[in-house]
Homo-oligomer: A and B are copies of this chain.
Amino acid sequence: MAIKPTIPKGTRDFSSEEIFKRNYIKNILVSSFEIFGYEPVETPSFEKTETLMGQYGDEGDRLIFKIINSGEKVKKADLNSFEKEDYEKFSRSISEKALRYDLTVPFARYVSQNQNKITFPFKRYQIQPVWRADRPQHGRFQEFFQCDADIIGNRSLWQEIEMILLYDEVFSRLNLKGVKIRINHRKILSNICSLLEISDRFNEFTAVFDKIDKIGIDGAIKEFEIKKFPQKAINKINSLFKFSGTTIEKLKFIEKIFKDYKSDKSGLDEISFVLKYLDKTQLIASTVDFDFSLARGLNYYTGMIIEVSPPPAIKIGSIGGGGRYDNLTSKFGLKNISGIGISFGFERIYHVIESLKLFPEKIKKNTEVLFLNFGNDIINNIHNEINKLRKNNISCELYPSNDKLKKQLSYANKKAIKYVVIIGPEEFKEKKCIIKNMISGEQLSFPLKELYLKLKEMLKV
């Protein structure tokens, strides 16, 4: 019985055209990373389950794909948990390996494991697929690419600045103008929490603010009410975060508040340093704003945080983000090492470039030349011409069998092959050949021995 050929929900096959488009973006990322002095690292598709579990919160843990132990090793299945309907614990009892959920934890593991071999500050980039058991829906996949650039082992604010320059470099090489980069600092958020006397609820506070793009400040207020935040704090949040103005106005606004309340202003100073440099630097594809409502969902950030949105015409959420973290490697025993990292949302960037028609027109490499097939006798004698073209980097194919001319030409058309070489019995007898331009329909006849030079001229190799 035949099996229906389908793929799991949330996964994709990629055709050649999609691969060329994806490589176009990937190559721009790679060359930008390398221009900035990052070097590539790759990690295995699966890590030990213990490396990944507990790093992404309960919800994250549930979304990690676990691999069943092979052979006899499933014997260890915790049937007790199964009966108690603790399926999470049951699954973990028969799984020692799990698929990479992001690139950050494997990177932290890599740095800790190779700390004696690595030159710090260590600048690495990584472009690899990750897997999440998210419910598949439009534009959300179970397998997708992540692209990260991190610098670990130094606290200099020039790294914050260069991360923003790197974003601008990538988007300008992609010809994607109008990108909006917002920055904030976790210390500014924690100072605000402290002023509001809700420091103990900092993670809840940032989790609500992480959704503010979708729910707005009014939606956030409602959530704080549901979560029973003190009414006094909620009122202050309302007045604070309804403030709008330019980056400079917002900086002054926060500065005054911190001054009034004698708050630590180191976070604000760092943001000011970054903004001051950027103010006198010409960014090409993007603008940078200070946004003290920016929170980022991940709790490991400790310094500046960044989020990148596409031009306003495209409604798709963020296409990148990142920030400074101080304790990412401490789980693996490597303590007191600060780093900063940013991510490029590969799949979303692809969507934006596609929507705005920013892919170069000729992105797919088609076969350049097709040799028609008039039977083995002729091919046996002229196949060396094909070899010669290939040795000279002209891509060509021999139509494999002596089918009707119409069928052979239709193959050339479907594959968008521009030049067809015709050496039929007559041409062969006269040591001639014909090149047919499949776009113009034009045909040129000349001695076979001139074939390579003629094609070279036509293709401008």
Q: Which positions in A face B, CB cutoff 8 Å? A: 2-8, 11-16, 19-20, 31, 34-37, 39-48, 50-51, 62-63, 65-68, 70-72, 74-75, 77, 79, 82, 87, 90-91, 94-97, 99, 109-110, 112-114, 119, 121, 123-124, 129, 131, 133, 143, 151, 154-156, 158-159, 161-162, 165, 169, 277, 281, 330-334, 365, 367, 373, 379-380, 383-384, 387, 390, 393-398, 400-401, 411, 414-415
Contact = CB atoms under 8 A, between A and B. Distances in A.
Nearest to A135: B70
Q: How many copies does the complex hold?
A: 2
Given A8-B96, A151-B400, 8 more contacts: A5-B113, A5-B334, A7-B47, A15-B41, A16-B39, A20-B40, A44-B143, A77-B90
Contact of A154 (B37, B42, B131, B400): B400
B35 A395 contact: yes
Contact of A8 (B48, B119, B384, B396): B48
A207 to B, nearest CB: 22
B401 A154 contact: yes
Given A13-B110, A99-B67, A277-B383, A398 B8 contact: no
A74 B62 CA distance: 13
Secondary structure dominating the interface of A: mixed
A169 B41 contact: no
Given A87-B74, A156-B400, A414-B119, A43 B367 contact: no
Contacts of A114: 13
A176 to B, nearest CB: 17
Contact of A67 (B65, B277, B397): B65
Contacts of A415: 119
Contact of A45 (B2, B121, B131): B131
B13 A43 contact: yes
A32 B256 CA distance: 65
A396 B67 contact: no
A415 B35 CA distance: 14
A63 B71 CA distance: 9
B43 A5 contact: no
A126 to B, nearest CB: 10
Given A12-B44, A19-B40, A77-B82, A51 B3 contact: yes
Nearest to A17: B39
B41 A13 contact: yes
A39 to B, nearest CB: 4
8 contacts: A2-B332, A6-B48, A13-B110, A16-B40, A65-B70, A154-B401, A158-B379, A158-B383
Contacts of A66: 67-68
Given A162-B398, A330-B2, A143 B45 contact: yes
Contacts of A20: 40
B70 A42 contact: no
Contacts of A333: 2-5
B393 A35 contact: yes
B5 A112 contact: yes
